[in-house]
Amino acid sequence: MTSPLLLYKVAATPRWRVGWEERVSLELPPRPQGEPVFWIHAVSVGEVIAVSPLVEALRKAYPQAAIYLSTVTETGKETALERVGRFIDHHLFLPLDWAPFVSRVVKRISPHLFAVVETEIWPNLLRSLALKGAQIILVNGRISPSSFEGYSKALPFLKYVWRYFQCMAMQSSRDAARILALGAPNEKVVVAGNLKYDQALIQLEEVDSREVRRRFCLTQDEEVVVAGSTHPGEEELILDAFISLREEFPRLTLILAPRHPRRRDEVESVLRDRGMAWVRRTQIERRRGEPVILLDTVGELAAAYSVARVALVGGSWIDRGGHNPLEPAFFAKPVLMGPSYFNFKDMVEDLKRGGGIRIVPSGYLRKEMRSLLTGIEETHSLGERARRVLMKNRGALDRHMELIQGVLRSP
pLDDT (tens digit per residue) in 114-136: 999 998 889 999 999 999 999 99
In sequence order, which residues have a C-beta less than 8 Å from that of residue 390 and are 6 or more positions away? 197, 200, 201, 326, 329, 330
Query: Do 288 and 173 have their domain in common?
Result: no
The pLDDT of residue 1 is above 50 = no
The pLDDT of residue 89 is above 70 = yes
Query: Do 239 and 128 have their domain in common?
Result: no
Rounded to the nearest 10 degrees, how much is the dihedral formed by the CA atoms of 24, 26, 27, 30? 100
Name the band, by pLDDT with cuts 50, 70 and 90, for residue 16: low
Number of independent structural domains in the chain: 2
Query: Do 278 and 235 have their domain in common?
Result: yes
pLDDT at 49: 84
Global confidence as pTM? 0.71
The pLDDT of residue 275 is above 80 = yes
- Mark whether 47 is an active-site residue: yes
Range in 68-72, 92-96, 202-206 with the lowest mean pLDDT: 202-206
**What's the whole-number average pLDDT of the chain?**
92
Query: Do 386 and 244 have their domain in common?
Result: yes
Query: Do 359 and 254 have their domain in common?
Result: yes
In 3D space, the residue among 299, 269, 298, 295 whose CA is nearest the CA of residue 284 turns out to be 295
State the burial class of residue 374 (Cβ atoms within 10 Å of its Cβ: 0-12, 13-18, 19+): exposed
Rounded to the nearest 10 degrees, how much is the dihedral formed by the CA atoms of 168, 169, 175, 177? 60
Query: Do 214 and 117 have their domain in common?
Result: no
pLDDT at 2: 41
Backbone torsion region of residue 289, taken as left when φ is above 0, otherwise alpha when ψ lies between -120 and 50, otherwise beta: left
Domain that holds residue 291: 208-392
pLDDT at 198: 86
Query: Do 375 and 405 have their domain in common?
Result: no
The partner residues of 224 in beta bridges, in order of sequence, read: 253
Range in 1-10, 217-226, 351-360, 390-399 with the lowest mean pLDDT: 1-10
Q: Quick check: is 326 in a domain?
A: yes
- Give how far Cα 343 sits from Cα of 45, 48, 219, 321, 346, Å: 15, 16, 36, 5, 9
Query: Do 181 and 215 have their domain in common?
Result: no
Q: pLDDT tens digit string along 185-242? A: 999 999 999 998 887 677 788 899 999 999 999 999 999 999 999 999 999 999 999 9
Distance, in Å, from the CA atom of 106 to the CA atom of 364, rounded to the nearest integer, reads 52
Catalytic residue among 22, 47, 74, 290: 47
Query: Do 284 and 337 have their domain in common?
Result: yes
Name the band, by pLDDT with cuts 50, 70 and 90, for residue 30: very high
Report the residue count for the chain: 411
Half-sphere exposure of residue 381: CA atoms within 13 angstroms, side-chain side: 7
Give the CA angle between residues 24, 28, 32 to the nearest 5°: 145
pLDDT at 251: 96
Q: Quick check: is 126 in a domain?
A: yes
The pLDDT of residue 383 is above 80 = yes
Distance, in Å, from the CA atom of 199 to the CA atom of 382, rounded to the nearest integer, reads 21
Q: Quick check: is 198 in a domain?
A: no
pLDDT at 168: 98
Q: Quick check: is 54 in a domain?
A: yes
Range from 26-35, 39-48, 229-238 that averages highest in pLDDT: 229-238
Q: Quick check: is 1 in a domain?
A: no
Contact (Cβ atoms closer than 8 angstroms) between residue 395 and residue 372: no
Can you give the CATH number for the domain in which 370 is found? 3.40.50.2000
Can you give the CATH number for the domain in which 80 is found? 3.40.50.11720
Q: Is 365 helix (H, G, I), strand (E, B) or coil?
A: helix
Q: Quick check: is 103 in a domain?
A: yes
Q: pLDDT tens digit string along 330-343? A: 999 999 999 999 87
Query: Do 404 and 363 have their domain in common?
Result: no
Q: Quick check: is 202 in a domain?
A: no
Contact (Cβ atoms closer than 8 angstroms) between residue 88 and residue 52: no
The pLDDT of residue 140 is above 90 = yes
pLDDT at 111: 98
Distance, in Å, from the CA atom of 301 to the CA atom of 255, rounded to the nearest integer, reads 9
**Side chain identity at residue 192, one-letter code:** A
Query: Do 80 and 186 have their domain in common?
Result: yes
Query: Do 399 and 381 have their domain in common?
Result: no
